[in-house]
């Protein structure tokens, strides 16, 4: 992985949070989490991240320091008076489903994304999974982005469809999972659903399928990237945000949004996400290096090689 001369950065807006995780392997209170946290930790493996989020007085400085060490800019992270957004959830024994036990928005309830002056120009933009109105707010503050990507979730697809459609009309790349795609397109078949959603705006659509890899649909057709078969999955929390962060980080690093960088990015993203689920919360991402990713990418290439 060599950097392009014209490498860019990734502007990430999303949530930073504490997660109380109840996993088959045990309960883990107050794990650092949030869509922006996972995305920034993975994106910053490949390109500088510029973070826009809000945390409370109780959020650990160490997480912001780690992002700074990785060359990221966290001046857009507002530290507000009060507590950090907190989510509590319990996973099923097979980790395939989870139940939300509690959600405390805390300082996130009043979150109004404000981009520092230094954030407003160019770059790759990742609108993390937050209210579509806030995603639009961010877009209104960005000039000449290289690429605008968005994530979303069932909650907004069902409850804020109109605002979400406004967002879709303005994004180049939508990154969602297969169930979200089916819900958004109101079509069960993924190939047909992808065609329908691309008509809503995004020229490129990435469908995350967890252990089953990821699909890309764009003007060049369809592309499939497998996931690494894990011997032990510990915690799926944040894997989707990690995938999106790594994908956009890779695109920013390559400095151009062509079919090739997107396709390579899918392999990289599936691989970084496979590391994420190997430990609780952001723990694995915090120690992950580009060298680890390169090694697993090589193993992944061997996994699909016939000769």
Q: What are the residues binding its own copies (CB under 8 A)?
A: 94, 188-192, 209, 212-213, 215, 221-226, 229-233, 260, 263-264, 267, 302-307
Task: Provide, rounded to whole angstroms, the least separation between the CB of residue 111 and its own copies.
Answer: 37
Nearer to its own copies, 20 or 235 (CB): 235
Task: Provide, rounded to whole angstroms, the least separation between the CB of residue 263 and its own copies.
Answer: 5
For 65, half-sphere exposure in the C-beta direction (CA atoms, 13 angstrom radius) is: 4
Nearer to its own copies, 81 or 304 (CB): 304
H or E element, residue 167: helix 161-168
Contacts of 7 (CB under 8 A, 6+ apart): 47, 252, 253, 254, 255
For residue 301, with 0-12 CB atoms within 10 Å meaning exposed, 13-18 middle and 19 or more buried, which class applies? exposed
* CB atoms near residue 202 (< 10 Å): 25
Strands 204-208, 214-218: pairing is antiparallel
For 62, half-sphere exposure in the C-beta direction (CA atoms, 13 angstrom radius) is: 6
Task: Provide, rounded to whole angstroms, the least separation between the CB of residue 239 and its own copies.
Answer: 16
Q: CA 164 to CA 246: how far, in whole Å?
A: 23
Task: Provide, rounded to whole angstroms, the least separation between the CB of residue 260 and its own copies.
Answer: 6
Nearer to its own copies, 189 or 287 (CB): 189
For 151, phi and psi rounded to 5 degrees? -120, 160
Query: Which residues sit opposite 52 in a β-bridge?
Result: 13
Task: Provide, rounded to whole angstroms, the least separation between the CB of residue 256 and its own copies.
Answer: 14
The answer to whether residues 12 and 44 touch, using CB atoms and an 8 Å cutoff, is no
Nearer to its own copies, 65 or 303 (CB): 303
Nearer to its own copies, 109 or 303 (CB): 303
Task: Provide, rounded to whole angstroms, the least separation between the CB of residue 197 and its own copies.
Answer: 15
Nearer to its own copies, 28 or 223 (CB): 223
């Amino acid at each position: 992985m060599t950097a392009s001369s014209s490498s860019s950065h990734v502007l990430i807006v999303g949530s930073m949070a504490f997660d109380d995780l109840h996993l088959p392997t045990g309960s883990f209170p107050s794990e650092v989490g949030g869509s922006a946290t996972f995305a920034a930790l993975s994106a910053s493996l490949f390109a500088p991240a510029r973070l826009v989020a809000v945390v409370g007085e109780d959020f650990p400085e160490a997480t912001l320091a780690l992002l700074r060490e990785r060359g990221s800019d966290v001046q857009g992270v507002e530290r507000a008076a009060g507590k950090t957004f907190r989510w509590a959830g319990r996973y099923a024994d097979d980790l395939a489903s989870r139940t939300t036990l509690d959600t405390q928005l805390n300082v996130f309830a009043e979150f109004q994304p404000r981009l520092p002056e230094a954030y407003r120009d160019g770059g790759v933009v990742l609108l993390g999974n937050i209210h579509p109105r806030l995603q639009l707010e961010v877009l209104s503050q960005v000039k000449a982005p290289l690429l605008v990507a968005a994530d979303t979730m069932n909650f907004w697809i069902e409850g804020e469809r109109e605002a979400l459609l406004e967002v879709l009309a303005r994004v180049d790349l939508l990154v969602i999972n297969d169930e979200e795609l089916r819900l958004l397109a109101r079509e069960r078949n993924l190939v047909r659903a992808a065609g329908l959603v691309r008509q809503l705006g995004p020229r490129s659509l990435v469908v995350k399928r967890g252990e089953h890899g990821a699909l890309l649909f764009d003007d060049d057709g369809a592309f499939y990237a497998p996931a690494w078969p894990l011997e032990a999955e510990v915690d799926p929390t944040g894997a989707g945000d990690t995938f999106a962060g790594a994908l956009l980080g890779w695109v920013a690093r390559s400095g151009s949004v062509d079919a090739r960088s997107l396709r390579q990015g899918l392999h990289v993203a599936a691989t970084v996400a496979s590391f994420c689920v190997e430990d609780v919360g952001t723990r694995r991402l915090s120690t992950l290096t580009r060298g680890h990713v390169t090694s697993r990418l090589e193993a992944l290439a061997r996994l699909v090689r016939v000769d």
